[in-house]
Amino acid sequence: MDSQRSMAYRIVIADERIWRKDCGKIPKEQLQQILRKIRALAGDPWAGNVQVKQLKNEELADFRLRIGEYRVLFQKDEEQRVITLLRLLHRSKLY
């Protein structure tokens, strides 16, 4: 278990105001599901049950987490073991 704990990432929010605004637009049940997936992301960003994709042509973020109709854009710092959450958007607003 200790080796798994040392593998975990710390989750930080880049801009609290923008994050709250994004979350406020999502129905409560879906938001709870999204938050569970974000917690799973902190444990292991490359786990099979976590749908992460590295983005190539996106200026805002290096990675996106797919959760149903929603996407979480984030940056990952391997050295500091930090995942920085940037935006939480419906896929229609992102692409």
Give the pLDDT confidence of 26-83 residue by residue, as tens digits.
999 999 999 999 998 888 877 776 789 999 987 889 999 999 999 999 999 999 999 9
Q: How do beta strands 52-54 and 63-67 pair?
A: antiparallel
Instruction: Name the band, by pLDDT with cuts 50, 70 and 90, for residue 3.
Output: very low
Query: Hey, what domains does the chain have and what are their CATH numbers?
Result: 2-94 (3.30.2310.20)
Q: Residue 70's pLDDT is what?
A: 96
Number of other residues whose CB lies within 10 A of the CB of residue 55: 14
Please, what sign has the CA dihedral across residues 67, 56, 24, 77?
positive
Query: What would the pLDDT profile of 4-30 be if each residue is shown by its tens digit?
Result: 445 789 999 999 999 999 999 999 999
